[in-house]
């Protein structure tokens, strides 16, 4: 049996995505900037996808800008906001558990002389809103806090940040990669800048979007031919954009995913030697567990031998962050961090698969 449980790293493309890709590559390969019918057709595909993404996020179509993925969206949001305001202001706030595509930008800005506050999180990975409030300065440009953490599924209190935004005057960015299509949009679509990614929601890799609210001004990062209304140059990735549109408009069954996660968590918590590291996580798809006295990568390969694919920590960060900075920030000790694996569920997992995983883990522990 093959059981894919690494959906926070990437997901299987939907069948509709695969057929759209096939169709577009054979017939509709025009450049939307071309003035002939094939160009016009490509433009229509982008328009339709923008409509789907806007609808799924409950934002305006004109607020959606397609990018090459969440890494670019995060870079654009952060540097775009800073470049807009760097003459007057020098301070940025983020959290200690952001994705490297946020943290590396912060590091670069610090090297350039900006001051960055890294908010602490509690044992569940949740920021302290009081600490945030106390960190806001007159020269704060940006607050960037993710909606859902990719290693432990913590859902951050973005509504509280939004309330502060209305009182103080900063730009509010959220990396919503692990939130989009997983939790309700009201929990994250109030941010000024919102990052999403195609391949985390059963679309293609190399496509994402940055939502820029109409009243927010940030500088573009990629200059050139003026595509995406001058905000993001480069010939549009039509196939990717179409895949993002299709995935965004697809009805995901998150209740079912949550049920499977809860079943898995309950059964695993009864196995001696297994600790659930994210008991209170509100995200429906991420379970983080440690195998006391064992190494996460050893367990990963033992599971792999049984056809089960999981991850240690997060699959997508560079070695620079080494041992999970997220698990460390929630106060776990080095041994438990080294013993951790992340199981992330998705749309296509079944109850039968979860039962097989439970039995397999029992066997491994034995
Ligand atoms: N942010 C988060 C929270 C993520 O999980 C990921 C993917 N690991 C990214 C950003 C980067 O996404 P992409 O692969 O689309 O650049």
Residue in 37, 11, 39, 44 with CA at minimum distance from that of residue 242 = 44
70 closest CA partner among 174, 153, 190: 174
As a whole number, mean pLDDT of residues 237-258 equals 97
Q: Give the model's confidence band at 135: pLDDT under 50 very low, under 70 low, under 90 confident, else very high.
A: very high
Confidence (pLDDT) at 227:
97
- What is the average per-residue pLDDT within 54-59? 98
d(CA 21, ligand 1 centre) in Å: 22
Rg (CA), the chain: 21
Share above pLDDT 90 across residues of the chain, in percent, rounded to a whole number: 94
Between helices 238-249 and 15-26, what is the axis angle to 10°? 150
Residue 112 has pLDDT above 50, yes or no: yes
How far, in Å, is the centroid of ligand 1 from the Cα of 101?
A: 7
Q: What would the CATH number be for the domain defined by 3-12+252-365?
A: 3.90.1150.10
Atom of ligand 1 nearest to the CA of 149: 3
CA of 68 to the centre of ligand 1 (A): 11
Tell me, using a 6 A CB cutoff, whether residue 150 lines ligand 1.
yes
The predicted pLDDT at position 139 comes to 96
Residue nearest ligand 1's atom 9 by CA: 70
Is the C-beta atom of 70 inside 6 A of ligand 1?
yes
Residue 321 predicted with pLDDT over 70:
no
pLDDT at 322: 58
What mean pLDDT is predicted for residues 197-218? 98
> What region, left, alpha or beta, does residue 351 occupy, with left being phi > 0 and alpha being psi -120 to 50 degrees?
alpha
**E-only strand ranges, the chain:** 3-4, 64-67, 91-95, 115-119, 140-144, 171-175, 193-197, 208-212, 274-276, 286-291, 308-309, 340-344
Residue 174 has pLDDT above 70, yes or no: yes
Beta bridge pairs of residue 282: none
C-beta of residue 102 within 8 angstroms of C-beta of residue 325: no
Q: Is 360 in the pocket of ligand 1 (CB under 6 A)?
A: no
Assess whether 105 carries a catalytic annotation: no
Cβ of 10 less than 6 Å from ligand 1: no
Asked if residue 342 has its Cβ within 6 Å of ligand 1, the reply is: no
Residues for the chain: how many in total? 366
- Residue-level pLDDT at 136: 97
Q: Ligand 1 atom closest to Cα of 74? A: 10
Span from the CA of 8 to the centroid of ligand 1 (angstroms): 9
Q: Whose CA is nearest to atom 8 of ligand 1?
A: 316
User: CB–CB of 313/188 below 8 Å?
Assistant: no
175 CB within 6 A, ligand 1 = yes
Classify residue 41 as left (phi > 0), alpha (psi -120 to 50) or beta: alpha
In the structure, what pLDDT confidence band is assigned to residue 319 with cuts at 50, 70 and 90? Answer: very low
Q: Would you kindly state where each structural domain of the chain is located, as residue ranges?
A: 3-12+252-365, 15-249
Sheet with 64-67: list strands edge to edge. 64-67, 208-212, 193-197, 171-175, 140-144, 91-95, 115-119
Instruction: Give per-residue pLDDT as tens, 274-302.
Output: 999 999 999 999 999 999 999 999 999 99
Please spell the DSSP secondary structure of 102-147, one letter per residue. Answer: HHHHHHHHHHTT-EEEEE-B-TTS-B-HHHHHHH--TTEEEEE--S
Give yes or no for residue 69 CB within 6 A of ligand 1.
yes
Q: C-alpha angle with apex 101: 254 to 286, nearest 5 degrees?
A: 25
**The overall pTM is greater than 0.85:** yes
Q: What is the pLDDT of residue 297?
A: 93
Give dist(CA 212, CA 226) in Å, integer. 17
Name the residue with the closest Cα to ligand 1, atom 5.
150
Catalytic residue among 116, 185, 222, 316: 316
Confidence tier at 86 by pLDDT (50, 70, 90): confident
What tokens were used for 231?
Answer: 């905000």
CATH architecture of the domain 15-249 equals 3-Layer(aba) Sandwich (3.40)
CA of 167 to the centre of ligand 1 (A): 30
317 Cβ closer than 6 Å to some ligand 1 atom:
no
139-162: pLDDT as tens digits:
999 999 999 999 999 999 999 999
Of 6, 70, 175, best ligand 1 pocket probe by most atoms within 8 Å of the beta carbon = 70
pLDDT at 147: 98
Range of weakest confidence among 111-115, 163-167, 305-309? 163-167
Q: What is the pLDDT of residue 31?
A: 97
Residue 55 CB neighbours (<10 A): 13
pLDDT at 60 over 50: yes
The rounded Å distance from CA 245 to ligand 1 centre is 18
Tell me the mean pLDDT in the region 341-352.
98
- Asked if residue 320 has pLDDT above 60, the reply is no
Ligand 1 within 6 A of CB of 99: yes
Q: Is the pLDDT of residue 328 over 70?
A: yes
Distance in Å, CA 127 to ligand 1 centroid:
20
Per-residue pLDDT at 121 exceeds 60: yes
CA distance linking residue 362 with residue 354, whole number of Å: 12
d(CA 227, ligand 1 centre) in Å: 23
Q: How far apart, in whole angstroms, are the C-alpha atoms of residue 278 and residue 270?
A: 15
State the CB neighbour count (10 A cutoff) for residue 254.
18
Provide the CA 261 distance to its chain's centre, in angstroms.
19
Report the mean per-residue pLDDT for the chain: 96
Best residue for ligand 1 mutational test, from 243, 316, 318 (most atoms within 8 Å of Cβ): 316
Kindly state the average pLDDT of the residues 99-107. 98
Ligand 1 within 6 A of CB of 177: yes
pLDDT higher than threshold 60 for residue 314: no
Residue 22 has pLDDT above 80, yes or no: yes
């Amino acid at each position: 049996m093959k059981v894919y449980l690494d959906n926070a790293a990437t997901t299987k493309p939907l069948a509709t995505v695969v057929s759209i890709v096939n169709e577009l590559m054979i017939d509709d390969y025009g450049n939307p900037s071309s003035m002939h019918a094939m160009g016009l057709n490509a433009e229509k595909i982008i328009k339709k996808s923008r409509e789907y993404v806007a609808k799924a996020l409950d934002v305006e179509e004109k607020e959606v800008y397609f990018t090459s993925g969440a890494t670019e969206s995060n870079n654009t949001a952060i540097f775009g906001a800073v470049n807009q305001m760097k003459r007057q202001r020098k301070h940025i706030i983020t959290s200690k558990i952001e994705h490297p595509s946020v943290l590396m930008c912060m590091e670069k800005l610090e090297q350039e002389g900006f001051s960055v506050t890294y908010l602490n999180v509690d044992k569940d990975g949740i920021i302290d809103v009081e600490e945030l409030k106390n960190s806001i300065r007159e020269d704060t440009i940006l607050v960037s806090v993710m909606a859902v953490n990719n290693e432990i599924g913590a859902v951050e209190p973005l509504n509280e940040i939004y309330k502060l935004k209305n009182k103080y005057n900063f730009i509010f960015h959220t990396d919503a990669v692990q939130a989009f299509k997983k939790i309700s949009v009201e929990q994250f679509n109030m941010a000024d800048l919102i990052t999403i990614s195609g391949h985390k929601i059963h679309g293609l890799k190399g496509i994402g979007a940055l939502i820029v609210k109409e009243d927010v001004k940030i500088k573009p990062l990629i200059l050139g031919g003026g595509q995406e209304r001058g905000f993001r140059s480069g010939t549009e990735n039509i196939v990717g954009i179409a895949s993002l549109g299709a995935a965004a408009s697809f009805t995901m069954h998150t209740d079912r995913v949550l049920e499977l996660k809860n079943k898995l968590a309950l059964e695993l918590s009864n196995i001696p030697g297994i600790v659930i590291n994210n008991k209170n996580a509100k995200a429906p798809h991420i379970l983080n567990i440690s195998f006391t006295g064992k190494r996460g990568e050893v367990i990963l390969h033992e599971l792999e031998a049984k056809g089960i694919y999981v991850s240690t920590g997060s699959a997508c960060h560079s070695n620079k962050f080494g041992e999970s900075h997220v698990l460390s920030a929630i106060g776990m000790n080095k041994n438990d961090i080294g013993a951790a694996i992340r199981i992330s569920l998705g749309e296509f997992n079944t109850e039968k698969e979860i039962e097989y995983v439970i039995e397999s883990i029992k066997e491994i522990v034995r």
